[in-house]
Structure 1
Amino acid sequence: MTQALTRSALDPGLAALIDRVAERQRADFGHAVSDVKADGSLITACDRWSDATLVEGLAALFPNEGVLSEEGNKQVPLSDAYWVVDPLDGTTNFAAGIPYWAISLARFEHGRPVLAVLDVPPLGQRIVAVRGKGAWRNDKVLRPPSLQAHPAGCASLCSRSIGVLQKLPDRRFPGKIRLLGVASLNLVSVAMGQTVAALEATPKIWDLAAAWLVLSELQCPLRWLLRSPENLVPGSDQAVADYPVLAADRAETLERFMPWAEALQALAADP
């Protein structure tokens, strides 16, 4: 029953499209040459190819639904339903030969994600979430992390949020720090039970769209620290909009990490 649900949640054409992009990324891994974008982040030919292929593929599969993507149109589409795409989240890892990156897609209705896919090509893993139905990894049901024990107590920081440690020098950070370099997977690591919390300083909507739904379906509390991505305004430009966020496995953990989230909030409000 659950396996049928997860497979039916992904249109066969959509699954084949993601498979095609994942296969190309694996083939290009270790041979990528990167350029520097205007914002200082890296981009490779594989990023551009992946973005164009996903955008064109989605337009063919869902012709009445717009697409917002990291390397393409960054304005919120005017269509009732639309897609938010990060074709290769973790380009620095990809370009450096570190086998950890993701393809992130989310379908939005009424300003909120209703279907999410996070494909991790180097690990052969695909996480799918459907609003109101739950989340799965490779067709196996994921349980809320609040129902699990986390003896390791790892917590994810991004490179830009690690500065909060200096803001609270006399307080011991309540987790074993991990910096993995992939915003979408940093956030979803909480939902997967790999970390107890994740603090992201500058995620764009394409970084967090899919992870947001996975976290929501697995009952992980979120605290938006500067602005909320809920109810994005159609036509609004998302090129420079950041959505700092704290994600946690349960409410008690969220409160335990809030002092560092508040420090990040202060930094974001007055950079």
Structure 2
Amino acid sequence: MNEWLTIKEHIKTWVKEVGKEQLIRMEQPFQMKSKSSDIDLVTEVDEWSEQYLMDKIKSQYPHHAIMTEESGWHEGQAEYEWVIDPIDGTVNFAHRFPFFCISIGVKFQGETVIGVVYVPKIDEMYEAIKGSGATLNGKPITVSRTERLNQAVVATGFPYDRATDPNNNVNHFNAIITKVGGIRRTGSAAIDLCQVAAGRFDGYWELKLQEWDICAGLLIIEEANGKTFSYKQEKGYQVLVGNPAVFNELSGILNWE
């Protein structure tokens, strides 16, 4: 546990440094390109952020494995694996919309034990160590107590291939929109997960997410007494989270379990 705490403190320092630079670079001209589709963007700031974090990890923990969004898998010999999204919400960042974040999860022997999500523009630091609860800027957080779906505010998103693959979440959205108090879309899965953990959203679901999108956030929700479900499919994970009551109602509509 002491080792996990030390790792978490390193992560918090590094993401603060990266976030500060991201805010500077967001206001300057930067290059960007498309990945899997015209709306799946990566910027030079994503790449710089990822390299900065990797250099810090390799310097401090040279034997740890690393999985990143932009450069993929980096072999390691230790029992630790870092899962990094240097900018979750790249489209937001590219449009200078403030909802983007840095998400880092750390696994030990295959289980996520540390989660940190930092939102630079509003200076919010979400963090959790397995078995120790979740916090936002150092204060404990817990999921909401909303019990009825028609009073709940939930979040979702849509995959990058939504124009070409009918499995694009539109049918689920249509099934849920008339049954909830409201639906929000921030454009960042990691931020959505953290809003559930903080009790701001009551639930969240999405399709075709990648491990770097959800690794940290799922742990943070679990440590905030929320329920989580994730299942890996061919094109990524389908994910459902929420407070227990809203989770159960959404699960009944989605029929994922």
Deviation at 1:98, TM superposition (A): 0.5
Following superposition of structure 1 onto structure 2, how do residues 1-271 of structure 1 map, counting pairs within 5 Å?
Answer: 8-10=5-7, 12-31=9-28, 32-40=30-38, 41-74=40-73, 79-146=78-145, 153-160=152-159, 162-165=169-172, 168=175, 172-226=178-232, 242-250=236-244, 252-262=245-255
- The alpha carbon displacement at 1:260 in A equals 3.9
TM-score, length basis structure 1: 0.80
User: Per-residue deviation at 1:151?
Assistant: 9.8
8 Å contact from structure 1 (residues 104, 119) kept in 2? yes
CA–CA distance in structure 2, aligned partners of residues 152 and 9 of structure 1:
40
State the distance in 1 between where 2:172 and 2:70 align: 32
Letter in 2 for 1:164: N
- Closer/same/farther in 2, CA of residues 80 and 226 from structure 1, 3 Å limit: closer
% identical aligned pairs: 22
Contact 1:148 1:193 in 2 (8 A): no
d(CA) in 1 for partners of 2:96, 2:202: 27
* Distance (whole Å) between structure 1 residues aligned to residue 31 and residue 10 of structure 2: 30
In the alignment, the residues of structure 1 paired with residue 174 and residue 150 of structure 2 have an alpha-carbon distance, to the nearest angstrom, of 27
Q: How many Å apart are 1:225 and its aligned residue?
A: 4.4
- Contact 2:144–2:196, Cα closer than 8 Å, also in 1: yes
Q: Deviations over 1:195-222 (max 9, x none)?
A: 1110111110000000011011112111
- Alpha carbons 2:12, 2:116 under 8 Å: kept: no
Please give the alpha-carbon distance, in whole angstroms, between the structure 1 residues aligned to 2:107 and 2:93.
27
Structure with greater strand percent = 2
Q: Contact 1:155/1:195 (CA < 8 Å) preserved in 2? A: yes
Q: CA deviation at 1:13?
A: 4.1
Instruction: Name the aligned partner's letter for residue 106 of structure 1.
Output: G
Contact 1:174 1:257 in 2 (8 A): no
Structure 1 gap segments, 5+ residues each? 228-239, 267-271
Q: 1:258 to 1:76 in 2, by over 3 A?
A: farther
